[in-house]
Structure formats: structure tokens, C-alpha cells
Chains A and B, each alone.
Chain A
Amino acid sequence: MTEVLKTEKVNLKWNGIDIQAEKGSNLLKAALDNGIEVAHYCYHAGLSIAGVCRMCMVEQDGNPRAFPSCNATCGEGMVIRNDTVKIKAAVESTLQFHLLNHPLDCPVCDQAGECGLQDYYMKHGQYDSQMIDKKVHKAKVQDIGKNVMLDAERCILCSRCTRFTEEVTKTNELGILNRGDHAEITVNEDLKNDYAQNLVDICPVGALTSKDFRFKQRVWFLDEVQTTCIGCETGCSVKVSQNKNGAYRVKPVYDHDVNGHWMCDDGRVIYKHVSSPTRLQNASENINGLFVPVAELGVQAIVRGKKPKYILSTGLTLGEYAGFFNAIKGSRAEVALYTLPNLGPEFDGILRRGDKNANLRGAKTAFDLAGFDSTQAGLDKVLNSISSSDVVYVVIPEILYNEDHFNTLINKVEKAGVRIALTPGETLSSLRAFNYLLPVPSFLEKNGEILNYQGAKRTLRAGLSYGETSKDVSYYGKWVNV
């Protein structure tokens, strides 16, 4: 990703249409940026140019030879066509060549519906097979680690994955061994980088599929909601694929300022607690370790007259913090902030950060504005002052990377007369320390904004809705006055 802003533009003609492109960018990018469809497999804006798939061939006026547009630089006044008979024939033949050894297993392939081969076949396919030789078979169902499955015979050798491990993660696990018909993607040793799931995204065919997602759902049954990852303070732009049965996967969305094209593997599982079978959906009471649904009014009656103490998490939206502090304004409630401990190095050099608090900056701003202490000292003060006449509300962090650290907090809360957990996730066994569990919306069920490590506003969008999870902390904040 180049940080230099190239403002200089050049004008060119593509299939007779005037388009503008950044000077120095390649022809394919210029076309794609201008909304022109050009078939391509090996080109990826986040990787180097390989020019191996030969699908993006174009013709230029005054140039007798067709050439791949990904490997050609835009120049002023270029006249480019890719709708000529010559180019169409070239693309058709190239696709036919790509499909020589490709198995016909689309009905059982996870990529079906979002497959580059299927898409272009509808447009450039030859339909009648001219093959007289047998297809070359290669190893299928290879678990190459990090939740990635490799099917070598579906591969069209575009080399996006090998370039990814070489250029982005610099771990060099993947390579293309052998030659010609026998060439196949191979792992030197199992994948060991923390960005391996991106391989599944960039693979234009079904050769690399996600072990987590495969065979769970067909992509045409899924809707995509663009939101923000809450896995750490980076706040990558992501899209969550989901339907009425729950969320199924998380994929990155290109965002020049924050995450570029990629996201880390930790972010891929942030949806798990939302559609988990043990997700808390209704107000529940803890009866000897069993959580039994209870009427919310009953809980309200129990907290009446008790001194409320709130321990918020760092994963709430700016709107939720504002609404909450507005609700408790003028009451005797005490509020503290539980901050997740750092995990791993501060920054791993690509995207992932050790600070796992998605909205720490937003939380601190809101606390300062309302006059509460957001520091660890503030939390300790509230925890140490807990007595049996108190009711303590703890907002459970959506993703607990370090459950032991959180359990020390729970141990300190046990002195309180009534302990209520406001949880956006699963009913963890550690929540048995609480008397009541009340559901709050997870990041997939609320609209709002959070501040990432740059202090930039990142948007959360609601896609799912489960049980009675629509009431957020500001609703429960109003209980201070009952």
C-alpha cells in the first residue's frame, strides 16, 4: 500500500469510454476503479503483480499484440479495448486452459456462489468440453493448519496465496512445487502466520477454504453486514455474513486508512459468542448454578433501594456510554471501567494490537465527561467499597481473551448483596457468581460508533436480532432510580 497520494491523473479511453486514472497505476486497476469489468484471477490490489493468469488481456491502438492489463502502466491518451473479437477469443481460450484440470465438484465446493471460475465461466465459458485426455488428479482435503483447507486440484495456480505469505506475512509457508500439469500449491510446513484466513479470501477459486466455515452454509443464503471488528483497538472494517440462523463468518473490507485489504485470524472468530447456543437471550436468575428465565420486573423489585455500582466494559459504543451516563445523572450510582489486559506485543507489525479494548478511547472520554474515574485505581476503589447492601452491575466484555484476569474481578464482586451480569455473549461458567444475568446487545445487534487506536470513528451496524437483547446498558442505567 503506497502512502503517497498520487493526485496526478491521466486520461485514457477504455472500450470507447473516457476514463481517468492515477498516473503510474496499472491499466487493470484503472478499469476496475472506473467500474469496468475485467476478468482477472492473479491480480490483487494488495499484492505484487504476477501476470500469470492471462485473463485481463487487452488491445491497444497501434500495438499489434494483446497484453495483460495488470502489468501495463496507464499513459496519457492510451486507447484500450477488451471487447474485440481477438480479446474475447483469447480470454475464452485462457479460461478453457485454466479449467483443464479443474474438477467438476461445484455442488460440494464451498466456494460455489462466489467463485471466480463460475463467474467468468458464465461469461467466457466454452461450454462443450474438448478434453480428450484425463484430468490430472492432485491431493484434496489437506489440512494445512490455521483453519485453512487446501484442495490442490481446484487450484488454478494464480499464486495469490504464495505472494501473500511472501509479501504480507513474510512467513513463506506456501510455494508452487513441480512443473506444468503437475504444478501444485504446497506447504513447506503447516501455516504459522496469524493472518492465514486471508488466504481463503484471496483465493479466487475453491482451492483454499476455511475449516471454520466450510459446509456450514451456502453463500447465497447469507447477507453481508458491514461493520467493525471489536477484537482489538485497531478496529478493522469487516463484513459479517449472516442469516436468520446466526452469523457464519467474518471477512475484511478494504479500508485504506485502517486495515487495507486484510484482517487477522483473531478477528475471524469474534462472531462466535453472538450466535452461540448458550447465548443469553432473556433475563435469567441463577438458581443453584442453573440459569432460569425470570421476569425482568422481578429483578427490578430486588434491586430497589440498594446502592447501585456499575462496572462497564470497554466495548460499548459512544452512544451507549452517553445514554448510560445520561440515565444515571444525579443519582448516587458509582461507575468504574474494567479494562481488558494487554495480550501479546503492542503491535505485531501488520494489523493486530495487544490492546484488546475496542473502544477504550471512547470509554475514557465518556467517563471524563461524566466525572467518573476510568482508571484501574477507580475500579479498585469501587471494588473495595462493595458491601452487602449494594447491587453491582457488571457489563461482561464481549470477548474475554484472558478469563482468569476477569475472574479476579468477579471474586471481588462477590461481597455485594445482589450481583447482576449484563452480558452480550454466552452464559460462561464463571457467570455462576452472579445472581441475575440480563442480556445486552452484542456488536452485531447494535448501531453505533467506537473510537479506534487512531481516535478515528468506526461504525458498528446491526444485522442480527436475538431474543430480548435489544435493551442496552442505558436502559439498565435507568434502574438506579427505581
Chain B
Amino acid sequence: MWTLIQIELFKIFRRPRTYIAFAAIAALIGVVQLGLKIDGQAYVSFMMRDISSSISVEGKILNGYQVCYIVLQALLVHVPLLISLVAADMISGEANMGTLRIMLTKPISRTQFLLAKFIATVIYTLLLLVWLAIMALFVNMLIFGTDDLFLLKSQYVVLLKKDDVFWRYVCAFGFAALAMTTVAALGFFLSLFAENSIGPIIATMSVIIFFTILSTLSSIPLFNAIKPYLFTTHMIGWKEFFDIKVNDANEAIVGTIQNPGKIVQSSIVLVLHIIGFITAGIFVFRKKDVLS
């Protein structure tokens, strides 16, 4: 199995297309960093325009933690596309090249073959998130320094002490890895049904967009009822790590998360989706006639 995974990783990282996602993340974050470095104060003024008269924040609002949060909010919506570029190509790309039939004439069970490919996809996804963490967190910490993290929510504000932020990012990236693995599992599953990667990539993004729209239409009772079961509802669960518990005096309790149960629930839903996609994929693939 390890040999198979090694081979799959070797193939993934020998393809130029693999590096598109890494380059795109670097470019996008670079642009945001440049914009905020040059005109960050204007951004802060705009952000604080409605509350500046009632709240006074000491210290440096535009710090590395703040920039990382801005980047993650903007970017984690688009990372699924970058992941699907590889995940949705894993089987369909092989079918398209004609290599699937050679692979499957080798003494490897189809289940092993599929699992090795999926594990390699997950490793790629994790590496992409590590790269995102390096670019969005560590590089921003270097460029903008660190300070307390000030977050504007829809009905309240959250102020996280400087020393209480880093672990939250570690957890948030861990959760994002789970969410992105779900996207990878979906793309991987859809790639079983096509002989070129364009279809599964578009289908993966279409499913995500469709489910996200359904999630936002929660005022309609039917959609509200299915919302908890849609994986897209839970993909933004990483934000929960940045909500803090308060005591009776409305003071933040350092080191706490307001609703850890919600994170656990979202994680379970995402894991169930991953298991569901892969189990269904193995079932389909074992019975599939390779005609490509």
C-alpha cells in the first residue's frame, strides 16, 4: 500500500498542473499582503467605521493574525476549486490518458488502488493547506507582526488576546483540512464517472455552489430542514474556533471556545461525508468495466 501511495504522490508532484494551486495561493495572498501593506490603514478605518465612536481599540489592529483571518475568509471559499483540480483528475485523468487500463492490469486490488489514490489526494490537500498556513499565517506574522485579534461579527465583536490566538489558527487549519478533504473526496468520487477531468472539476464546484446556495436559503422551511445535512453548511466551521466564551461579567475567558459542540457536530458530518463518498466510490469502482 505504501508503495502505491509513493507512486501516486510521485505522479502528482511530477505534473505541472499540481503547482498551479500552490502558485495561485501564493499570488492571491501576495496581492492581499501588498494591498494591506500599502493601504492597510484605510481598510481598518472602513472596517471600524460603524463602531469607532463606541469602541476604542488599543494596539495594532492590522497585525498578522488579523490579515490571516481576512485571507482565510476570502480564500477558503476558493480553495475547493484548487483542490478539485487534482482530486477530480485522479481517476478520470488516468482514464483520459489511457493509463487506467494498464494500472488495473497490475497485481493490485481495485480497492487498494482507489484507497492509495485517495490517500495521495488527501496528502496533496494537506500540503496545500500547510502552504496556505505558511503564506497566510506565518508570512503575515513576519510582515505585520502580532497583536490581539479583533473580529467584527454580525451582532457583536470578539477581541482575542494575542497569546490566545495562535492555537486557534492551528485548530482552524486542522478543521479546514477536514473540510477540504471532504471536497477532495467529492471530486475524487465524481472522477470515477468521467474520462476527462473537466467534467468532474465542474461537477464538484457545481455541487459546492448548489449546496451553498441551498444553505443560504434557510428562510425556506424545506431548505432549512436539509441544511444540517449539507457538508457545505459545515465547511465554515473553522470560524467557531474564533468565538470565545464569556463569563457573567461579559469578560472573555481565555482558552475557551463558545460552542465546541458545534465543531464536533460539523466534524462528524464532514467525516461521514468522506466515508460515504469513498465507500460509494469503492463500490462503483469494483464493478466498473474499464472501456477507456
Specify whether A and B are partners: no
User: Measuring CB to CB, which residues of chain B are less than 8 angstroms from any residue of chain A?
Assistant: none
A residues with a Cβ closer than 8 A to B are none
